[in-house]
Amino acid sequence: MWIGGGGKVLFPPCAAIASAVPILQKDKAVAGAYVIELDNLAYSYGGGELLSDISLRLTPGSFHFLTGPSGAGKTTFLKLCYGALVPTAGHAVLFGKDVRQMDRDEIAEIRRRVGVVHQDCQFLDHLSVAENIALPLMVSGRDVSAEDQNLKELIAWCGLTHRAEARPPELSGGERQRAALARAVIMSPDIILADEPTGNVDWEMSERLLSLLVELNRMGKTVMIATHDLGLIRAAKTRVQARVLRIAKRRLQLAGADL
Amino acid sequence: MKLLSPAVLLRGEPQADRVVPPTGFTARLTLFAAAAMTFLAVFALALSLATGRLASNWSEELARSSTLRISAPAEQVAAQTEAALQVLATTGGVARARALSREEQQALLEPWFGPDLPVDSLPIPQLIEIIEDAQGYDPDGLRLRLAAEVPGAVLDDHGRWRRPLVKAAGRIRALGLLSLLLIGGVMGAMITLAANSALAANGQVIAVLRLVGARDDFIARAFVRRFTFRAFWGAALGMFLGLAALLALPEAQAEGGFLTGLGLRGWHWIWPFFLPLVAAMVSFLATGAAARRMLRRLA
């Protein structure tokens, strides 16, 4: 089955990390010391302020959790981190460039460097799982075949080999999350933002997704996971040095001490 | 936002083409709108071309001919006819002139009075047909000469009824062209509506594509190409149906008048084949504008 025309995908070269797939190797230099800088950021919608006075700097290769009660603004915060929303006050600087200064094409370029996994991961239902995973390559103009070895390795890494030809509605919650994660990392992004990635899966699948995210972090990716699953955070802290942030009363706080 | 170039349009973009769901009511709406509008456009085009042809014929043929009527007492008709022919023979700009025979005059009256009209027993004026040469004659000068030499002669240069006919034909032609423009506009509007509906219905597709880093021009190209080809094939279908309907019209007869002459003649048959291309172009522009607008709104 073909996703596009002929030709090979231009993936990064294979690395010696046995558990990794070549597609995930770090191949981009991050401009500046921070991948994301938020400076006195605020965001208002419909006359009400959802986020206020938020300042944060994410260094390359760091691991973060974002917690807070439902409706606190975690998803809004993540959207501000990949340019889906523009702050109403303050600055959001992504890869050294202020979001306000970017046009829509530049925002699109930024999104190729940020892998996003949503809780309600959306797919194109008329495409197969493999095609959906390869979608970022397709939209960036690369020809990619489902027979491509690198794509196969990525699908295998997520444990979806047997579901590669299925349509997204046929997948279980956990399979959808893993497919979304594979799609998020296929461009070898610098940052992975995951919004409640374990919200719809059982503990075993949560562990597996967490392992994949930790593995990506060890490859040099910056990871931020929005979750209210404290068990997941505790499990992660045994494997990776993670900073825990909390959004409460519209503001961002460091919340590691109570975990 | 960079949009689709004609080369890319024809070559296709497999990646962009795949991301838009292939079916939906907007696909059928676009096909139907393009087919129906092109079907109507074929008739508007035929009307426009036919009236143009009629106007041209009336203008050229009637402009070169005129009629001289001799209304005189029966015993003077022959003499005045002879005198009039003499005058016409010496008039510059007259190529030839001849008196119509009784049978020809009867044939002219037959549509109104039937075939059994006793022409010989009626005081019918004698008609003389005048054919002009390329320069034409001076009607006012000829009238003065005839008034002096043939008192029963009345010159009719057809201008009195030719001008309104040509004017009417010209207006019908303009009406046909206006209809073509309106049809093109309506087709553009309907395709724009269909494109807007498709873009709105595919909001999730657009959201996913944006999430994974698709540029707006990539998304727009996927929709524009899809709609352009749908409009082209719909218009091609409408064109063939329209041409079939034109072929089914009765042939123009001498007594058939204006309506039966509506079909296309000669090289005019080429024109309808441009309609699918025009429809595709209308769709290309309409969908491109709709896509840009919608993507800006969804941003």
% pLDDT > 70, chain B? 89
Q: What is the tally of structural domains in chain B? A: 2
User: Percentage of chain A surpassing pLDDT 70?
Assistant: 85
Q: Are residues B187 and B76 in the same domain?
A: no
Which of 43-102 (B) contact A at CB < 8 A?
none
Q: Which of A105, A116, A127 sits opposite B211 (nearest CB)?
A: A116
Looking at the complex, report in whole angstroms how far the Cα of residue B268 sits from the nearest Cα belonging to chain A.
42
Token digits of residue B247? 């072929």
| Token representation of residue A168 | 């997204």
- Residue A135 counted as domain residue: no
Residues 6+ apart with CB under 8 A from B296: none
Please judge whether B214 and A139 are an interchain contact, meaning their C-beta atoms are less than 8 angstroms apart: yes
Find chain B residues with C-beta within 8 A of A122's C-beta.
204, 207-208, 211
Would you tell me how many other CB atoms lie within 10 Å of the CB of residue B291? 28
d(CA A3, CA A5): 7
Asked if B150 has any chain A CB less than 8 Å from its own CB, the reply is no
Q: What DSSP state is assigned to residue A2?
A: B
A90 domain residue, yes or no? yes
Q: What is the pLDDT of residue A13?
A: 28
Say if residue B133 is in the same domain as residue B273: no
CB of B211 within 8 Å of a chain A CB? The answer is yes
Q: Which of A82, A109, A124, A127 to mutate to test the interface with B (most CBs of B within 10 A)?
A: A124
Chain B nearest C-alpha distance from A120 (Å):
11
- Residue A115 in any domain: the answer is yes
Check residue B233 and give its pLDDT.
93
Q: Are residues B124 and B200 in the same domain?
A: no
* pLDDT of amino acid A146: 63
Taking an 8 Å cut-off on Cβ atoms, the answer to whether B210 and A105 are in contact is no
Residues B114 and B199 in one domain: no
Tell me, yes or no, whether A1 lies in a domain.
no
Q: Tokens 């008609």 appear where?
A: B127
Chain A hits for B19, Cβ within 8 Å: 124, 127, 135, 138-139
What is the least distance, in Å, from the CA of B12 to any CA of chain A? Answer: 11
Mean pLDDT by 10 residues, chain A (259 residues): 32 33 49 82 90 91 91 91 92 92 90 88 90 90 75 87 92 89 88 87 82 88 90 88 90 66
Residue showing tokens 């996927």: B222
Strands A48-58 and A36-45: antiparallel
Residues of A in contact with B24 (CB under 8 A): none
Task: Please give the residue range of the domain that contains residue B253.
Answer: 6-58+172-298
Q: Are residues B104 and B185 in the same domain?
A: no
CATH code, domain with A223 = 3.40.50.300
Which stretches in chain B have pLDDT values below 50? Answer: 255-257, 259-260
Chain A residues with CB-CB distance to B217 below 8 A: 105
What H or E segment, with its residue span, contains residue B26? Answer: helix B25-57
Q: Please name the residues between 2 and 31 in chain B that touch chain A, using a CB distance below 8 Å.
A: 14-15, 18-19, 21-22
* pLDDT the model gives residue B62: 66
Check whether residue B91 and residue B177 sit in a common domain: no
